[in-house]
Amino acid sequence: MEEVTTAVHNEKAEQERMQLVSFNLENEEYGVEVLKVREIIRMPNITRVPNTPHYVEGVINLRGKVIPIISLRKRFNLDTAEADSRTRIMVMDMSNNLTGFVVDSVAEVIRISSDEIQPAPPVISGNIDQECLSGVINRADRLLVLLDLEKMFSPEEQEQFGRSATLQ
Amino acid sequence: MTLMCEDQELLEGFLTESTELLEKIDDDLVVLEQTPDDMELLNRIFRSIHTVKGAASFLEFELLVKVSHKTEDVLNKLRRGDMSVTPEIMDVILEAIDLVKVLINDIKGNEIVERPIEGTIERLVALLENNEGSAAAATAPAEAPAAIESGDNATTMDTPRSDDLPPDEPEHVSAAEQVPIPEQVVPQVASAPARPAAAAPANVSQQSPPKGEELTDKSTVRVEVKRIDDLMNQVGELVLERNRMIQLSSDFQNEMNMDVFGEELGKLSKRINFVTSELQTQVLKMRLFPVGSVFKKFPRIVRNLARDLGKKVNLQVSGEDTELDRSVVDEIGDPLIHLLRNAMDHGLETPEERKAAGKTPIGTIVLTAHHEGNHIIISIKDDGRGIDADRVAAKALEKGLISSEQLAILSQRDIFDLIFLPGFSTKEKASDLSGRGVGMDVVKTNIRKLNGIIDIKSEKNKGSEFILKLPLTLAIIQSLLVEVGVETYSIPLTAVLETLRIKSEEFHSIGGRKVLKLRDSVLPLLDLSDTFDVQEAGEPGEFRYVVVVGAAEKRLGLVVSRLMGQQEVAIKSLGTYLNDVEGIAGSTILGDGRVALIVDPAKLIDTSS
């Protein structure tokens, strides 16, 4: 009996509507959960921070708060591209730490129901860390890769975020 | 036992009040030991504990009532002159106060546990019983060690009280000063129930103080109403200036005369500058805290240490009113305790040694604090044996902390610095107090974390002085902005000793390292553009600039392309993801909105040596 009820419950949960922010990286379309995105800004002056991993672009001043900026292109080992007028920084809430991600462009907010999400095929885009792929959305006209950027960081890095969250 | 009180507000009021009272009691008790005739002081202590007891019984905290009630009884006896203050009685009272603190902490933590209070109660009761009437006579010889151990204190406290005591008392007081009974002989009272009292104080002195410290409440601040009023005034002015700015902006859009506009804008920015810096000072002042809040627990610690070590110490404290930022206050407690312990244990000699050296038997430790510009200077000075440079050098060599070649080039001042090395200790045997070779290392690390500098002055047989130079606040610092290639960095001015303009060819190289001959010493150099891997901005000019930084006791020259000037900057954290960047302490936002990184000179010095 109990199994049945949980199954029903799951089905309901799966059909929940979700909103995603879609963005582009090297002609591919990606999506992240809208609730994680704090704001989307144009490229400001970035201050480089020495002795950091190559994908850390540096830090910026976001209205008096200093936040780190990570290049998704560099993180995913794609070819680097010059920033242009469409380049954006998505400021995301990573366990209470604001972090900015540089993307080629931000497209739109799309609504999906959660049962549209399919598990990611094993080799989708050879360069993207498998851990942060949380699925793909296959619609007639487009293929969207769903990312969970919090999983992008190694367990140690995640732990670092978590620790600071409890400290604050 | 569960928490019976439903009225949370009442409970909180009680906790705040008792915390404050108890904090004061500690200090008062130690003072009382030195001036036992101060009836006003005694009365105040009595009233405080009475207040705690009263409130506790109203709120039905039984354990607390029991302990505070007995303590009150003992204090009452002292007050009526039935008993007089001795170090032993003091030990028991202090133990009881510590227990009260522990109990209050339990209440505060909302987990009331059954604590063993019988031991303390028993000792308190013993005091009450044994000092009744002529039974006190029996205690006569036993009271002696007290007077001997605590030396001067005991003498001064014993003499004046002799008048108002029963006739048989004065005799054994004078006897007390002569009979050299070793410490181990049961002090205090001869009767059985009191025996635990003799054994207990030693444990108490080691275990209880840390518990007592926790009592201090750091989550709330008391601010003078006047300061808030001042702040309100400043904010009022700021609002005025804002209105003025809105007005000016709309005038500008209505095509105002450019000359007038320029003039008005100039005036406005001057006024806003003035108001905001005033505001900054005001808010900073609210965060300020007298250093006395740290100092006040020291008399107690020194007293206990003195008794444990069998030394006689006179602690002189001055400058308790000197204010500094809360963040700094929180951090300097431990280093200061370490330094005090160090002075007591290593610095001061025993009374016999002191006599042999032709000094007064009572050692002096002077603890002072004062402001010097944007810094606070805290000094701990003792008149003990001083640091024996030869012995320090020998020990460092023996422990393999330094090689004999390295040792040969060290000055005496450098040798003093060896005591800060991790693992250094001159003690043959580690004691509870010191000798594990961790203390001074911790002191140095903590002080450096605060961007502070520690300096040692010492003269053999005359004593030593440890001088701490700390910034007033950690939130806003004075910094030197420098250009390195195409980037701007900020160097905390506290660490900057001097700046130099040097021709590139004046740099020398020793064993692959760039150095500079600076007056008669050799200064190691670090090119920031290499360390931070900065892109060069065109051809390097004829001149380079060297910023000489010092942290704790070492010096290093940082090579930069240009000096941009001094600026007061607010420190912003780089966030947790980037908080461990080598050589970077944080960041700040410049006038144009760009982020500049703040260099961590201490770390650079550490990694480069």
- Could you tell me which chain A residue has the CA closest to the CA of B488? A47
Contacts of A62 in chain B (CB under 8 A): none
Q: How far apart are CA B187 and CA B143, in angstroms?
A: 6
B-proximal residues of A, 17-76, CB under 8 Å: 45, 47-52, 56, 58-61, 64-68
When pLDDT is averaged across residues A27-38 and rounded to a whole number, the result is 89
Q: Contact A50/B584, CB-based, under 8 Å? A: yes
Domain boundary among B245, B262, B289: B289
Interchain CB distance below 8 Å, B583 and A50 = yes
Residue B1: inside a domain = no
| Minimum-distance CB partner of B581 among A45, A49, A64 | A49
Please give the backbone phi and psi of residue B135, each rounded to the nearest 5 degrees, phi first: -55, -25
d(CA B272, CA B265): 10
Given a contact cutoff of 8 angstroms between Cβ atoms, the answer to whether B524 and B515 are in contact is: yes
The answer, yes or no, to whether residue B236 has pLDDT greater than 50, is: yes
Which of residues B143 and B270 earns the better pLDDT score?
A: B270
B171 and B85 together in one domain: yes
Instruction: Please spell the DSSP secondary structure of B425-459, one letter per residue.
Output: ---SS--SSS-SS-HHHHHHHHHHHTT-EEEEEEE
For residues B341 and B433, the answer to whether their CB atoms sit within 8 Å is yes
The answer on B154 and B265 residing in a single domain is no
Contacts of B3 (CB under 8 A, 6+ apart): B107, B110, B112
Q: What is the mean pLDDT of chain B?
A: 75
What digits encode the pLDDT tens for the residues B90-141?
888 888 888 888 888 888 777 767 777 777 777 777 777 765 443 333 333 4
Question: Residue type for A7, please?
Answer: A
Separation of alpha carbons A149 and A159, rounded Å: 14
Find the CB nearest B533 among A47, A50, A163: A50
- Domain match, B285 and B301 both: no
Of B576, B583, B595, the CB nearest to A51: B583
Mutation for B interface: A66, A70, A157, most B CBs within 10 A: A66
A111 touches B at CB < 8 Å: no
What letters, b where the CB count within 10 A reaches 16 and e where it falls short, cover B182-211? Answer: eeeeebbbeeeebbebbebbeebbeebbee
A58 vs B581, residue with greater confidence: A58
CB B169 within 8 A of CB B133: no
A99 chain-B contacts, CB cut-off 8 A? 575, 577
Specify whether B399 is located in the same domain as B418: yes
Give A29's Cβ-side CA count (13 Å radius).
15
Q: What is the pLDDT of residue B133?
A: 41
CATH of the domain at B45: 1.20.120.160
Binary contact (B594, A163; C-beta < 8 A): no
Side-chain half-sphere exposure of B47, counting CA atoms within 13 A = 8
Let me know if residue B82 belongs to a domain: yes
Structural domain count, chain B: 4
- Report the distance separating Cα B552 and Cα B494, nearest Å: 11
> Looking at B69-83, B349-363, B377-391, which range is the least confident one?
B69-83
Query: Looking at CA atoms only, how far is residue B527 from chain A in angstroms?
Result: 14
What residues 483-522 of chain B have any CB closer than 8 A to a CB of chain A?
487
Residue B2 belongs to a domain: no
Answer whether B589 touches A (CB < 8 Å): yes
In which band, very low, low, confident or very high, does the pLDDT at A156 lie, cut at 50, 70 and 90?
low
> In terms of pLDDT, which residue wins out, B268 or A123?
B268
DSSP state at residue B425: -
**Residue B56 structure tokens:** 């506790």
Query: What distances in angstroms separate CA B596 from CA A50, B572, B583, one per listed residue?
Result: 12, 10, 14
CB–CB of A65 and B572 under 8 A?
Answer: yes
Contact between residue B367 and residue B295 where contact means Cβ atoms under 8 Å apart? yes
Tell me which range, A140-144, B217-221, B410-414, B429-433, is most confidently predicted by mean pLDDT: A140-144
CA neighbours closer than 13 Å in the CB half-sphere of residue A133: 20
Q: Do the Cβ atoms of A20 and A135 come closer than 8 Å?
A: no
CB B490 within 8 A of CB B596: yes
Q: Which residues pair with B471 in a beta bridge?
A: B375
- Confidence at residue B198, expressed as pLDDT on a 0 to 100 scale: 38
Kindly state whether A95 is in contact with chain B, defined as any CB-CB distance less than 8 angstroms: no
Average pLDDT of span A49-62: 88
**Sign of the four-CA dihedral B247, B250, B256, B259:** positive
Task: Please report the ipTM that was assigned to this predicted complex.
Answer: 0.76
Question: Can you give the CATH number for the domain in which B419 is found?
Answer: 3.30.565.10
C-beta of residue B335 within 8 angstroms of C-beta of residue B291: no
In the predicted structure, residue A90 carries a pLDDT above the cut 90: yes
CA pair distance A88, B275, nearest whole angstrom: 37
Give the closest-approach CA distance of A149 to chain B in angstroms. 14
Residue B206 within a domain:
yes
Phi, psi of B270 (to 5 degrees): -65, -45
Residue B66: both structure tokens together = 């029991």
Cβ within 8 Å, pair A66-B594: no
Q: Mean pLDDT throughout B499-508? A: 85
Q: Which residue has the higher pLDDT, B258 or B82?
A: B258
Q: What CA–CA distance (Å, rounded) separates B506 from B465?
A: 38
Residue that the structure tokens 């030394």 belong to: B311
Q: What is the pLDDT of residue B567?
A: 86
- Pick among B536, B576, B579, B594 to test the A interface (most A CBs inside 10 A): B576
Taking CB atoms and an 8 Å cut-off, how many pairs form between chains A and B?
A: 76
Name the residue of chain B whose CA is nearest to A167's CA.
Answer: B576
- pLDDT-derived band at B329, boundaries 50, 70, 90: confident
User: Which pLDDT score is estimated for B154?
Assistant: 37
- A124-138, B35-49, B116-130, B387-401: least confidently modelled range: A124-138
Q: Which fold has domain A17-167?
A: OB fold (Dihydrolipoamide Acetyltransferase, E2P) (2.40.50)
Could you tell me if A97 and A153 are in contact, meaning their C-beta atoms sit under 8 angstroms apart? no
Residue type, A24: N
Residues of B in contact with A64 (CB under 8 A): 572, 589
CB-CB under 8 Å, B595 with A66: yes
Across A17-42, average pLDDT = 89
In contact, B477 and B471? CB cutoff 8 Å: yes
Query: What is the DSSP-derived secondary structure letter of residue B344?
Result: I
Residues contacting B232, CB < 8 A, separation 6+: none
Chain B residues with CB-CB distance to A157 below 8 A: 577
Give chain B positions within 8 Å (CB) of A60: 595
State the Cα–Cα distance between residues B560 and B538, nearest whole angstrom. 14
The reported pLDDT for the residue numbered A12 is 52
* Cβ-based burial of B276 (10 A; exposed 0-12, middle 13-18, buried ≥19): middle
pLDDT tops 70 at residue B330: yes
Instruction: Answer yes or no: do B31 and B92 share one domain.
Output: yes
- State percent of chain A over pLDDT 90: 19
Residues A88, A101 contacting (CB under 8 angstroms): no
Write the residue in A56, A60, A164 that is nearest to B595 by C-beta. Answer: A60
- Do the beta carbons of residue A25 and residue A90 sit within 8 Å? no
Which DSSP letter does residue B359 get?
S
| B183/B86 same-domain check | yes
Say if the Cβ atoms of A51 and B534 lie within 8 Å: no
Least confident among B332-341, B383-392, B417-426, B600-609: B417-426
- Using the Cβ of B532 and the Cβ atoms of chain A, whether some distance falls under 8 Å is answered with yes
Interface test with B, best of A59, A156, A160 (most B CBs within 10 A): A59
Percentage of chain B modeled with pLDDT above 90: 6
Question: E strands of B561-603, at which residues?
Answer: 562-570, 584-589, 595-599
Higher pLDDT, B428 or B167: B428
Predicted pLDDT of residue B209? 38
Task: Specify if B354 maps to a domain.
Answer: yes
Q: Does B526 touch chain A (CB under 8 A)?
A: no
pLDDT of residue A130: 65
C-alpha dist (Å) from residue B172 to B131, B140, B251 = 14, 5, 91
The verdict on B189 and B251 lying in the same domain is no
User: What's the pLDDT at B490?
Assistant: 93
Q: Is B70 helix (H, G, I), strand (E, B) or coil?
A: helix
pLDDT tens digits along B433-458? 454 445 677 788 788 777 777 888 88
For B332-354, how does the pLDDT look when each residue is reduced to its tens digit (9 = 90+)?
888 888 888 888 888 888 888 88
How many CB atoms lie under 10 A from the CB of residue A131? 12
Residue B398 is assigned to a structural domain of this protein? yes
| Interface check B596 vs A, CB under 8 A | yes
Residues B303, B201, single domain; the answer is no
Q: Looking at per-residue confidence, does B310 or A125 come out higher?
A: B310
Distance CA B307, CA B313 (A): 9
The reported pLDDT for the residue numbered B201 is 39
Residue to mutate among A38, A49, A62, A93, with most B CBs inside 10 A, is A49
- Under a CB-based contact definition with an 8 Å cutoff, are residues B540 and B457 in contact? no
Min Cα distance B560 → chain A (Å) is 15
Question: Same structural domain for residues B184 and B301?
Answer: no
- Going from N- to C-terminal start, the domains of chain A cover 17-167
**Does some domain include residue B171?**
yes
Let me know whether B417 and B455 are in one domain. Answer: yes
CA B573 to chain A, closest CA, distance in angstroms equals 7
Q: How many helices (H) and strands (E) does chain A have?
A: 3, 11
Cβ burial of B433 (10 Å; 0-12, 13-18, 19+) is: middle
Domain co-membership, B461 together with B482: no
What is the sign of the dihedral through the CA atoms of A95, A101, A107 and A112?
Answer: negative
What share of chain B in percent tops pLDDT 70?
A: 79
Q: Rounded to the nearest 5°, which phi and psi values hold at B388?
A: -90, 100
Chain B positions in Cβ-Cβ contact with residue A45 (cut-off 8 Å): 593-595
pLDDT at residue B93, rounded to an integer: 83
| pLDDT of A36 above 70 | yes
| Nearest CB neighbour to B578, from listed A52, A64, A94 | A52
Non-local CB neighbours of A18 within 8 Å, separated by 6+ positions: A33, A111, A112, A113, A114
Quote the minimal CA–CA distance from B217 to chain A in Å: 18
Give the number of other Cβ atoms within 10 Å of residue B105's Cβ. 16
User: CA-to-CA distance for B280 and B468, rounded, in angstroms?
Assistant: 26
Burial of B25 (0-12, 13-18, 19+ CB in 10 A): buried
In sequence order, the 6+-apart residues with CB closer than 8 A to the CB of B504 are B540, B542, B543, B544
Q: Do B492 and B344 fall into the same domain? A: no
Task: Report the amino acid identity of residue B433.
Answer: L
Asked if the Cβ–Cβ distance from B581 to A45 is below 8 Å, we say no
Q: What number is the average pLDDT over the span B62-80?
A: 81
B5: which 2 tokens? Answer: 């009180």
Alpha helices of B343-418 — where are they, by DSSP H? Answer: 351-356, 389-398, 404-408, 412-417
pLDDT of residue A10: 52
Per the DSSP assignment, residues forming a β-bridge with B558 are B526, B547
Distance between A30 CA and the closest CA of chain B, angstroms: 24
The verdict on residue B494 lying in a domain is: yes
Judge: B578–A157 Cβ closer than 8 Å, yes or no: no
Region B555-577: mean pLDDT is: 85
CB contact under 8 A, A52 and B589: no
Q: Please report, for chain B, how many H helices and E strands are present, in that order.
A: 21, 18
Decide which of B154, B184, B214 is a domain's last residue: B214
Residue range B247-264: mean pLDDT, rounded:
87
Note whether B84 and B161 are within 8 A (CB).
Answer: yes
Which of B214, B249, B279 is the endpoint of a domain? B214
Structural domain boundaries, residue B250: 225-289
A139: three-class secondary structure by DSSP: coil
